[in-house]
Amino acid sequence: MIIVTGATGFIGSCLISRLNQENFNAIIAVDDFSREDKLANLEGKRILERVDREEFFDWLDGNYHEIEFLFHIGARTDTTEFDRSIFEHLNVEYSKKIWQKCIEYQIPLVYASSAATYGLGELGYDDNESLIPQLKPLNPYGESKNEFDNWVLEQERHPFFWAGLKFFNVYGPNEYHKSRMASVIYHAFCQIQQKGSMKLFRSHNPNFADGEQMRDFIYVKDVVDVFVFLMHHRRNSGIYNLGSGKARTFLDLANNTFRAMDITSQIEFVDTPEDIRDKYQYYTQATMSKLRSIGYSQHFKSLEEGIEDYVKNYLTPGKYL
């Protein structure tokens, strides 16, 4: 059996699809299954059992001997949520308990961290573990992910294999339910489809022109390929960046979305909302040499390749991965 927490979510459901492609069908899907808008992400997937996240540890105590691998993708990911108790429960304490169970039952573990841990990038975007205690995230979500990373690095006991993955800006199928937290590509597609035009945030940083803000965008299919690699690799435990390694502008993103939809670009700039303005990342780019150094050699899709596949094969026909 392979456990996937956050199974109904964006990345978790895409991972299950990828595992099914590899003929791993004894999937234990762990999540809060009360949100009906997320259940479509699991339709058609081969899943052995669904386990409520609050009942998961009791379930694991009774079934640990059958578990081959645990992917802990579940988390509260809303960067505009400021109730720290939610993050403390779901992102920190829950993750610590998973870590401890993986040690107790000798289960290899891959868990989701985030590039939100890097804050404004004052120390760069290098996944050197010695820098992690010095990072200054910009919101409670990033703080919770960094708190768990730091806790992991302080532990004397570990699962026999573990990896934390700092996701950069992931986009792709199955994010339909994410509302404000969905990728800019998803929002661009929806705006263009409805109005024939789209809005981008104006720059409030004198070092960046409007639309020239840069992010490391990574296609979700590349993300889940890395998961599968690590499941088979099971060596070189540590915390790794997971981005494309190439920063691109929001104008690149917008123009490629228009192009994939075969519509002439029409872009309007609007002020960045004040509630996120002082916490806005103007540049992110993952240093990917660490993952490459342990043998991961697959090509990461360019922004052009990812957007074309996402728009033409998923967004336009309304399909799921």
Instruction: Indicate which residues carry an active-site annotation.
Output: 141, 178
Tell whether 32 is in a known binding site.
Answer: yes
Please count the other Cβ atoms lying within 10 Å of the Cβ belonging to residue 271.
9
Give the separation between CA 288 and CA 241, rounded to whole angstroms: 6
Tell whether 74 is in a known binding site.
Answer: yes
Give the separation between CA 171 and CA 14, rounded to whole angstroms: 11
Tell whether 189 is in a known binding site.
Answer: no
Give the separation between CA 239 and CA 74, rounded to whole angstroms: 17
- Give Cα 298 distance to the centre of its chain: 18
Tell whether 203 is in a known binding site.
Answer: yes
**141 neighbors 117 (Cβ within 8 angstroms):** no
Quick check: helix, strand or coil at residue 315?
helix
Tell whether 180 is in a known binding site.
Answer: yes
Please report which residue ranges of 84-198 form alpha helices under DSSP H. 84-87, 94-104, 140-154, 184-195
Tell whether 10 is in a known binding site.
Answer: yes
Tell whether 80 is in a known binding site.
Answer: no
Tell whether 169 is in a known binding site.
Answer: yes
Tell whether 202 is in a known binding site.
Answer: yes
Tell whether 77 is in a known binding site.
Answer: yes
Crossing angle, helix 303-310 and helix 250-260, to 10 degrees?
Answer: 40
The strand ranges marked E within the chain are 2-5, 27-31, 49-52, 69-72, 109-114, 162-167, 169-171, 198-201, 214-219, 238-242, 247-249, 267-270
* Rg of the Cα atoms in the chain: 19
Tell whether 11 is in a known binding site.
Answer: yes
Tell whether 73 is in a known binding site.
Answer: yes
Tell whether 157 is in a known binding site.
Answer: no
Tell whether 177 is in a known binding site.
Answer: no
Instruction: Tell me the helix, strand and coil percentages in the chain, rounded to 5.
Output: 45, 15, 40
Conformation bin of residue 160: beta by default, left when phi > 0, alpha when psi is -120 to 50? alpha
Tell whether 283 is in a known binding site.
Answer: no
Give binding residues as ranges.
10-11, 31-32, 38, 53, 73-77, 145, 169-170, 178, 180, 187, 201-204, 215, 280
Give binding residues for NADP(+) as ranges.
10-11, 31-32, 38, 53, 73-77, 145, 170, 178
Give binding residues for substrate as ranges.
169, 180, 187, 201-204, 215, 280
